[in-house]
Structure 1
Amino acid sequence: MSGRIPSPFYIQDSSDKTLVGDILFPFAYDELLCQKIGEGASPFVHIWRHEKAIVLGLRDRRLPNVEHAIRWLHVHGYQVGVRNSGGAAVSLDPGIVNVSIVMPNPTGRLEFKEDFELMYALIRESFAKLGLDAGKGEVKGSYCPGEYDVSVNGRKLCGISQRRQTKAFIVNAFVAVEGHAYRRGELIRSFYELATGGDPDQDAPVVEPKTMATLAELGGYGATVRTFVKTLTETLTSWGGTVGRHPDKPSMQELERMAATLRSRYDRKEQET
Structure 2
Amino acid sequence: MDVFRSRADRPVSDRSRTDGLLASAAGGTPALSVWRPPGVMAFGRRDVRDDGFDRAAQIAESRGFQPIERDVGGRAVAYPGETLAFAHAVPIAGASASITDRYERATETLIGALRELGADVVTGEPEASFCPGEHSIRAADGGKLAGLAQRVRADAALVSGCVVVTSTDADAIAAVTEPVYDALSVRFDPASIGSVAAAGGPATPDVVARAVEDAFADGPWGSGRCRTGRVEDGR
TM range (shorter): 0.7 to 0.9
**RMSD value over aligned CA atoms?**
2.4
Structure 1 residues 108, 167: closer, same or farther in 2, change over 3 A?
farther
Maintained 8 Å contact 1:108/1:167: no
5 Å-filtered alignment, 1:147-166, equals 147-153=134-140, 154-166=142-154
When the two structures are aligned, how many residues end up with a matched partner? 230
Counterpart residue number, 1:270: none
5 Å-filtered alignment, 1:214-233, equals 214-220=195-201, 222-233=202-213
Counterpart residue number, 1:12: 4
Counterpart residue number, 2:215: 235
Unaligned 5+ segments in structure 1 are: 1-8, 197-203, 256-273
5 Å-filtered alignment, 1:170-181, equals 170-178=158-166, 179-181=168-170
Counterpart residue number, 1:88: 75
Counterpart residue number, 2:86: 99
Counterpart residue number, 2:193: 212
| Superposition TM-score, scaled by structure 1 size | 0.75
Cα distance in structure 1, aligned partners of 2:148 and 2:81: 18
How far did 1:167 drift? Answer: 0.9
1:50 to 30, 37, 58: 37
The one-letter amino acid paired with 1:211 is S
5 Å-filtered alignment, 1:6-155, equals 9-14=1-6, 17-19=8-10, 21-22=11-12, 25-38=13-26, 40-107=27-94, 111-153=98-140, 154-155=142-143
Q: For 1:119, what is the secondary structure of its paired residue? A: helix
| Superposition TM-score, scaled by structure 2 size | 0.86
Maintained 8 Å contact 2:42/2:68: yes
The one-letter amino acid paired with 1:18 is D
2:183 to 187, 194, 197: 194
1:185 to 160, 170, 174: 174
Structure 1 residues 137, 195: closer, same or farther in 2, change over 3 A?
closer
Cα distance in structure 1, aligned partners of 2:139 and 2:104: 17
The one-letter amino acid paired with 1:81 is I
Q: Deviations over 1:73-99 (max 9, x none)?
A: 223332111212111110012211111
Maintained 8 Å contact 1:151/1:157: yes
Maintained 8 Å contact 1:11/1:242: no
Structure 1 residues 96, 67: closer, same or farther in 2, change over 3 A?
same
Q: Deviations over 1:32-75 (max 9, x none)?
A: 4313422x242111111111000111221232232122123223
